[in-house]
Structure 1
Amino acid sequence: MIQIREATLEDIPFITSIFRDTITHVNSKHYSEKQIKVWASGASEIEKWEERIKNSYFIVAELNETIVGFAYLSNGNCFDGLFIHKDYLRRGFGTKLMRIIESKAISTGYEIIKSDVSITALPLFENQYYIVERKQKKNYKGLSFENYIVYKEL
């Protein structure tokens, strides 16, 4: 049975492992080897992960006490991250985390939620009624990444 709970600082090793592995194994379909290496290196920025957990609505999905995914919401309506372990894709974990993130935005008074999503994640968001606002090039550590700004009316 899946359990959703707020993340703790003790979860960081599991969160960063999922982040790195998802990028390396799943996003590699849509981004170059160099982009994947640079993007995945963000897993090593422990202070940023601590800050996200402390300052965002950050939740994890657990199956049999093992973290299989996470999501976080910043500034009330900015859906900043959604990552599912590569072995647990297409089992509803991402959708469940998404629904809880959206509910949190609604409960804090927002009517619209926005996100920057990768090429890989775009179909999931579109299947959940997010609308592409625009395609963009985003710079990260000196490299340009193509992604999409999406939104959804709540």
Structure 2
Amino acid sequence: MDIDYREATLEDLPEITAIFRDTIRTVNRKDYSEKQIEVWSSGADDLKKWQERIKKLYFIVAEVDSQIVGFSYLKNGNYIDGMFVHKDFQRRTVGSKLLRIMESRASINGHDVIKSDVSITALPFFDSHYYEVEKKQKKSFKGMGFENYIVYREL
């Protein structure tokens, strides 16, 4: 499988938000309640926020045959604020390569550590890439509580 990586553009927005919504509704379903999934996936509807992310953050997409199959974005130079891989492309190196690109970018930005808040579902992936758990936490989104983890890795 040939995967290409490039910076996201505003034209990518429909595919990006579809992957965000669909991944949460399928992949994360096993670790979160129906209500949590509904609230979390509704974040795809805030198009203004997604446009800001694409314009202001280091935001990349992974493509296979011109179809976006994953994306990730970096905030503050060393914080992975989001990483999602299409449900049909899980466990096919897309996420690992996105992660390596984010780590390289954080290093280029002069940081010694990279961090992220990750879901219960994503924790095993980050653990397999040598990330340590800084702490388990509860976050609130639209009034709904979510358990997740702050993870980090020294670069």
Counterpart in the other structure of 1:102: 103
Point out where structure 2 has 5 or more consecutive residues left out of the alignment: none
Give 1:6-17 correspondences, 5 Å limit.
6-17=7-18
Counterpart in the other structure of 1:60: 61
Question: Displaced runs of 4+ in structure 1, greater than 2 A?
Answer: none
Counterpart in the other structure of 2:145: 144
1:55 Cα deviation after fit: 1.1
Tell me how far apart the structure 2 counterparts of residues 78 and 101 of structure 1 sit (CA, whole Å): 9
Work out whether 1:35 is the aligned partner of 2:36: yes
TM-score (norm 1): 0.99
Which residue identity does 1:30 align to in structure 2?
Answer: D
Work out whether 1:87 is the aligned partner of 2:65: no
Which residue identity does 1:83 align to in structure 2?
Answer: F
**3-state secondary structure, aligned to 1:24:** helix
Point out where structure 1 has 5 or more consecutive residues left out of the alignment: none
Tell me how far apart the structure 2 counterparts of residues 116 and 49 of structure 1 sit (CA, whole Å): 18
1:75 Cα deviation after fit: 0.6
Counterpart in the other structure of 1:119: 120
Tell me how far apart the structure 2 counterparts of residues 117 and 108 of structure 1 sit (CA, whole Å): 22
TM-score (norm 2): 0.99
**3-state secondary structure, aligned to 2:91:** coil
Tell me how far apart the structure 2 counterparts of residues 32 and 8 of structure 1 sit (CA, whole Å): 33
**3-state secondary structure, aligned to 1:106:** helix
Percentage identity across aligned positions?
65
Tell me how far apart the structure 2 counterparts of residues 79 and 67 of structure 1 sit (CA, whole Å): 19
Counterpart in the other structure of 1:25: 26
Cα root mean square deviation, aligned: 0.4
Tell me how far apart the structure 1 counterparts of residues 53 and 103 of structure 2 sit (CA, whole Å): 18
